[in-house]
Amino acid sequence: MKKIITLLLTSILIISCKSSSSSISKSESNFNELLTIMQGNYSSEKHSKRDTTYFNISLRMVPIWKEKGNYLYVEQAMFSKQEKPYRVRIYKISQINENEFVSEIHTLKNEKDWIGKWKTPEAFDSLTENDIDKKEGCGVVLKRLGKNKFSGSTGNKTCPSELRGASYASSIVIVNSNSIVSWDQGFDKNNKQVWGAEKGGYEFLKY
């Protein structure tokens, strides 16, 4: 009888371990999937040709600080003026659970010194965490909807902004294997939109 009980307990333990291992493996796989498809060079050229109220924007997301975690250096610029990006950021990508992730936004204290350094990512090894500032409340929580598809947004009025008279900003993001849709908007204290696209997000295609 004792042998039977022992065998049963051993079997349950093995099954439990396999289940836990499988869950961790799937969780890591989903995380790596997101990191992989976010990286790259993008443009909204096709979108701008289809709808002339949208500009042709260049978006670059390059992995840096591989020894410190999962960080992406980000530059956004008019495609014709890529040497003068209007947005320079570092995103820290972290996992919340098996299917949810967060992209935390950081600014650089001396961002002009880093423009164009995406060409040589190893240059960021000299940058420290004291050289960047986290934008509290501006993280984008992304949920996995299926293979190579993630969608999410910032919290409700959690991301402060003073740009063009705004009180807060919001971002809605969809990430696919070869594209990113990003809709950034700013609103004043009366919830009136004061900057950003009005009809929908910018559609960036990887090239």
For 143-169, the pLDDT digits (tens) are 999 999 999 999 999 999 999 999 999
Q: Quick one: what percent of the chain has pLDDT higher than 90?
A: 85
- Mean predicted lDDT score pLDDT of the chain: 91
pLDDT bracket for residue 198 (50, 70, 90): very high
Neighbours of 101 (CB within 10 A): 24
Query: Which pTM was predicted?
Result: 0.86
Are the beta carbons of 72 and 59 closer than 8 angstroms? no
Helix (H) or strand (E) holding 96: strand 87-97
Does 9 score more than 90 pLDDT? no
Could you tell me where the beta strands, DSSP code E, fall in the chain? 40-43, 57-64, 71-78, 87-97, 100-108, 132-134, 140-146, 149-153, 159-160, 168-176, 179-187, 193-196, 202-206
pLDDT bracket for residue 17 (50, 70, 90): very low
Residues 73-129: tens digit of each pLDDT: 999 999 999 999 999 999 999 999 999 999 999 999 999 999 999 999 999 999 998
Q: What is the pLDDT of residue 27?
A: 84
pLDDT bracket for residue 3 (50, 70, 90): low
How far apart (Å, rounded) are the C-alpha atoms in residues 176 and 44? Answer: 15
Q: What is the pLDDT of residue 8?
A: 42
